[in-house]
Amino acid sequence: MEKLTSGVPMDARRSERQAVDSAIAGQRVVLYTIAIDSGVAAATLNSLRKFAESLGCDVAAELYDMVPVGTPRSTRTGWLAIEQYIVDGKVQGVIATTETEIAFYRADRTALRSWLLCNKALACYLLSEHGPRSEGGVRA
């Protein structure tokens, strides 16, 4: 019998993750994280860079904000730069550790996904709440 996590069969989650990885493969992206320490941010960006390189992505920028989780995106300098990259068409997406790192609250995650769809952008996450790699993502 197939194991379930969060009501979604493991094979379905694996298939979704592979689809997201395939969609972002070869795209021009920005890496993003939040941290309370620049050393932690640098280490996280290094992991994100390795992940992006494994997917053949062209990394346009590596940005971070030194803020606590839950800080609104509209007040983050690094995130606002990412929005501009996407709006200007300089990148096709963002790679982060988790979606909650970008948008902590459920309503904010819904708004983030909507914004990405409207801008024909993709978000890919190294980790999900259910395990490693990029389960989440939105593509127009």
100's tokens: 């909650």
Higher pLDDT, 129 or 41: 41
* Mean predicted confidence (pLDDT) in 33-61: 96
Tell me the sheet residues that pair with 93.
29, 122
Full-model pTM: 0.79
Query: Model confidence over 88-136: pLDDT tens digits?
Result: 999 999 999 999 999 999 999 999 999 999 999 999 999 865 544 433 4
Query: Model confidence over 52-94: pLDDT tens digits?
Result: 999 999 999 999 999 999 999 999 999 999 999 999 999 999 9
* Mean predicted confidence (pLDDT) in 7-32: 67
Q: Rounded to an integer, what distance in angstroms lies between the CA atom of residue 26 and that of residue 42?
A: 23
